[in-house]
Structure 1
């Protein structure tokens, strides 16, 4: 008998060495992700200047947010399919460069239609990055670190949002809103070049499987049956639907809480923007760090913790959202926003780790893409528009005279008015966030029971992948 143990050990070692450039990859991808969310959210912070200049209504503003997300979501499945088959670093360079050009294009906009076009193109570039970058991190870091690594990676999301919210008003006040887009768009063009410094590990390099098996698995690609299996993978679907409801809530808050502070509470725009940015960033550090560390620790013995911690945190955030909307003290409002966001951000790393843990490596980019499509089409594509619609509807005195309007008035959700604009009731609109968070928590908790079985099933499929067939022997004539 031939002893193959040394060969197998060597092959596993090769897979482990795929992570040698892990920290370099993390730093580059984190910086790109920061710019991604900075470019995406700078628009929100300079809302008053753009709306005054281009005469944009609440409903149109909500629609502008939705157009970007529609473009982002529709393009994601195609980019996921490409990301499972072609060199990922080249696709990243394309995506980062395209979204940066679109951000500069937003600064060149002279009409509402121009902004719609620029934000649509932005969605294509960000979709490319959003579904491919996590798959590289999953391959270069140990599977036991996934929740922490993904939590740290997604810290760039609120960090970029916070910087955008704080930086936007400062630039707009001193140099005009067009300049804000130029300042955040140009660095992305430089960042696109750094994609070529990233490693291109074999898909599944962190799974502890011999490299030749991984390469055979990678070469074979995903089958039609694999895609069908993904749709009935309970852990995957519960995670996606839970994140969709959460995304409805957080997406609506990111768009409308600044307007709530500026117009409803009449806080100074620059101070409020800075304070909100500090709250969001601080909440992200606390929530994502806690979520990643706690779930990785608990999941060593109980994988269901990835679901349970996320779901319970989501439900726990609801009282703080309500307090933020109905308190009148400025310091207390910021404190409640911090607490609500910190609890909501807990789920970010664990929910994405669930996707990685139950989906085979040659299908992960597509899985993240389908997840992206679903969470935005079921989540924040609609929430900014619906919240804006509700704010306009319940700003109307006739609507407020209805039974539902009287109920809103009784709890303190009353219209306010800014000079030159019709009355609006942003508090009424933001109340939509509450049932979304409750639904998210219930769905995530319900998904916990499926996770151990489906993690084991993914590993079994990967181990069973055939080794590459030997080259056919030639026979001398």
Structure 2
């Protein structure tokens, strides 16, 4: 009994396998997240080349980005559930190998349909990775460290996007757009093999099988663990808010290189480098604003959600001014406009860390990957997939500058949803605390 108490009382300071194993797992998980987004975003700097070579519309170009988010959304939950019940490490390795090989195969595409199909397979491989990776981070580190570390994990996606945009533009300009896919796809295979050395956390026992006698009576069923996701109002509102904010973010990241190319005549590689600065600002923003949001929630949990809502509205106002100031009779120079876009990109990623940390706070630890994949489904299907596509459709209809002026309106939905999420957070977290203690005791006895 005393052993049980000790195991559960120290969870705020306990590493799963020790600090060294935790930091190795974190480094490898972050590295794969970088290559995940390199392979995902490398194509946006190729838009000018593909538009000329295959005479594509902006809608068709946008779909080349959106298709990955669609496949991630469709397959994310099944993949995460398998990882939760079988092996997270082996699942990650298989996913990384698939998406890396699929990215390399894009270089052999001879038509738009072939390239679209190859990009869909990239998304199939990436399905569930963000969710499983977040669960690995949450499992290895004590709760007091999770918010900042998850912010860093998801910020690495922005770093990968920067590398993808820059490499795509530079390699395509020098060696042709096909070569870029091969160059960025190979490193992911190497990191995937190294990931086999990461220690996997044990599957939380369900249905009272294999649990130590002191915990056996209250072991959760699979149904109850899944129900902890569906019954949480906090999870539902956070999913809506996170997805809405990513409409603005993904439209900006996907179409900014083309905007700079068309508006200011920048060469594709130069436009890609400038756009990469905005993505990098987003990575920095997700870290800094994640800390700001955490501090806002120290006195009251509602403060966290209010801070996120205010930041969403600030991002909307900044981006709409940056792209639509001429409608107010204000003409911005190139440097001034880019400065406003840069600041808007910094603000726009404010939901990334808080959304993941909040969801992981209020669900059963035995389904962390699955719960995170529900958030990922919304983010990908209703955020990352919609943003580039809507941006392309609006661009075909009213011009690219007007499209980028209108897409930040989605931030209003994000701000409202996060305010609503704050209402049920405390109750949902309290319901999750008892199962969390049981899961920790199971790991201690394992």
Q: Same fold, TM exceeding 0.5?
A: yes
Q: Structure 1 residues 65 and 6 mapped into 2: Cα distance closer, same or farther (>3 Å)?
A: closer
CA drift of 1:216 comes to: 6.1
Specify which of 345, 363, 367 is matched with residue 367 of structure 2. 363
Q: Determine the structure 2 residue equivalent to 1:439.
A: 413
The answer to whether the 8 Å contact 1:238/1:447 transfers is: yes
**SS of residue in 1 equivalent to 2:310:** helix
| Residue number in structure 1 paired with 2:342 | 338
Distance in 1 between residues matched to 2:72 and 2:382, nearest whole Å: 13
| CA displacement 1:416-458 (0-9 Å, x = unmatched) | xxxxxxxxx1122223322201111121122212112211111
Cross-structure match for 1:294: 292
* Alignment-derived partner of residue 195 in structure 1: 195
Match of 2:431 among 437, 457, 461: 457
1:156-212: per-residue Cα shift (whole Å, max 9, x none)? 11111111112211111111111111110001111110221111123689xxxxx95
For 1:69-468, list aligned pairs within 5 A: 69-202=69-202, 221-223=221-223, 225-285=224-284, 287-326=285-324, 327-394=331-398, 425-463=399-437
**Kindly tell me: are residues 279 and 377 of structure 1, through their superposed partners in 2, closer, same or farther at Cα, counting changes over 3 Å?**
closer
On the 8 A contact 1:306/1:354 being kept in 2, the answer is no
- SS across alignment from 1:46: helix
Kept after mapping to 2: 8 A contact 1:216/1:465? no
Match of 2:32 in 1: 32
Classify 1:242/1:269 alpha carbon distance in 2 versus 1 (closer, same or farther; 3 Å).
same
d(CA) in 1 for partners of 2:291, 2:87? 31
**Deviation, structure 1 residue 227:** 3.2
Q: 1:240 to 1:392 in 2, by over 3 A?
A: same
- Is the Cα contact below 8 Å between 2:72 and 2:123 reproduced in 1? yes
Q: Gaps spanning 5+ residues in structure 2: where? A: 206-210, 325-330
Computed over aligned residues only, the root mean square deviation of the Cα atoms, in angstroms, reads: 2.6
- Residues 358 and 212 of structure 1, relative CA distance in 2, 3 Å threshold: farther
Moved more, 360-369 or 300-309: 300-309
Contact 2:204 / 2:439 at 8 angstroms: preserved in 1?
no
Distance 1:354 1:23 in 2: 22
Q: Find the counterpart in structure 1 of residue 328 from structure 2.
A: none
Distance (whole Å) between structure 1 residues aligned to residue 406 and residue 8 of structure 2: 52
**Residues 218 and 185 of structure 1: CA distance in aligned 2, closer, same or farther (over 3 Å):** farther
**Within the alignment, does 1:8 sit opposite 2:12 as a pair?**
no
Q: 1:51 to 1:221 in 2, by over 3 A?
A: farther
Please give the TM-score of this superposition, normalised by the length of structure 2: 0.89
TM-superposed deviation, 1:257: 1.6
Q: Compared with structure 1, are the counterparts of its residues 280 and 125 closer, same or farther at alpha carbon in structure 2 (3 Å cutoff)?
A: same
Q: Residues 312 and 445 of structure 1 are in contact (CA less than 8 Å); yes or no, is this contact kept in structure 2? A: no
Larger radius of gyration: 1
- In structure 1, what is the equivalent of residue 327 of structure 2? none
Q: CA–CA distance in 1 between the matches of 2:294 and 2:193? A: 33
C-alpha separation between the residues in 2 aligned to 1:171 and 1:212? 56
**Distance (Å, rounded) in 2 between the aligned partners of 1:386 and 1:214:** 54
> TM-score normalized by structure 1?
0.83
Contact persistence 2:41–2:65 (CA under 8 A):
no
What is the rounded CA distance, in whole Å, between the counterparts of 2:251 and 2:336 in structure 1?
Answer: 21
Matches of 2:409 and 2:368 in 1, distance apart?
A: 30
Number of equivalences: 428
Distance 2:111 2:103 in 1: 15
Shift of residue 30, structure 1, vs aligned partner? 0.7
Which secondary structure does the structure 2 equivalent of 1:201 belong to? coil
Deviation at residue 349 of structure 1 after TM alignment: 0.8
Change in Cα spacing, 1:459 to 1:217, as seen in structure 2 (3 Å) is farther
Deviations 1:34-56 (A, max 9, x none): 01101100000111112222222
Instruction: State whether residues 246 and 436 of structure 1, in contact with CA within 8 Å, keep that contact through their aligned partners in structure 2.
Output: yes
Describe the shift of the 1:213–1:28 C-alpha distance in structure 2 as closer, same or farther (beyond 3 A).
farther
Matches within 5 A, 1:26-65: 26-65=26-65
